Amino acid sequence: MKRLFYAAPFLVLTTFPVLADEPEGNWVNLFKGKNLDAWVQRGGKAKYRVEDNQIVGSSVPNTNNSFLCTKKHYADFVLELEFKVHPELNSGVQIRSHCFDEDKIIEAGDKKIKIRAGVVHGYQVEIDPSRRAWTGGIYDESRRGWLYDLKKNEPARKAFKQNEWNKLRIECRGPSIKTWLNGVPAADLKDSLTASGFIALQVHGVGKKEEPMEVRFRNLRIREWK
């Protein structure tokens, strides 16, 4: 299949058509249930471990947001995964994200944003067990903030299952980023700032709270458009 090229504006909220085709390649497991050799931790000092074929992220007090990042970068893909999160722990899935070795200024439209060395930044598919229930929305971590919240998407907010396993589907192709939560359409964004980057699993900072809170991930698989 020929690669598609887009001439989209910088940031557009669109209607929600499902892509008509799927990537040609086979599903590839991002996590094979044994170890975290294909991943690297950046940002804060939350603890990550392997347990029962799951990646478990556990909060620790007095640290920044933590990210377990793939060593490989991905551009156009379909990513599926399941997660279960503590009701008081914010989390998320970074896509097309980066972490610089030195401070850098990036341009976002008519704005210039300073990214500090060692700070993970980029698109984040939100995991939000709070009453707000914006799981599946798209937040721009350490750059521009919310790009697509779920204020007007009640079906997606209601799709979240508290204290249970939930399934996320994320499609990235050109400037198009779409998400589904438990089969319900959540976000549909067009944004051309970043075309590729790593995938990461977030454990949000919890301030001074000492009791560990966990988020669990399993069945992470990806298919790429070439």
10-residue mean pLDDT series, the chain (226 residues): 38 45 83 93 96 96 96 97 97 97 92 94 97 97 96 98 98 97 98 97 94 96 92
- Quote the pLDDT of residue 21: 64
H or E element: which one contains 203?
Answer: strand 197-203
- Quote the pLDDT of residue 7: 36
Asked whether the CA dihedral 129, 132, 133, 135 is positive or negative, the reply is negative
- Quote the pLDDT of residue 109: 86
Pairing relationship of beta strands 214-224 and 145-148 according to DSSP bridges: unpaired
Write the burial class of residue 218 (CB in 10 Å: 0-12 exposed, 13-18 middle, 19+ buried).
Answer: middle
Fold of 11-16+36-224: Jelly Rolls (2.60.120)
The helix/strand/coil state of 59 is coil
- Phi and psi at residue 200, in whole multiples of 5°? -145, 150
What Rg do the C-alpha atoms of the chain give, in angstroms? 17
Residue 135 one-letter amino acid = T
Q: What is the pTM of this model?
A: 0.89
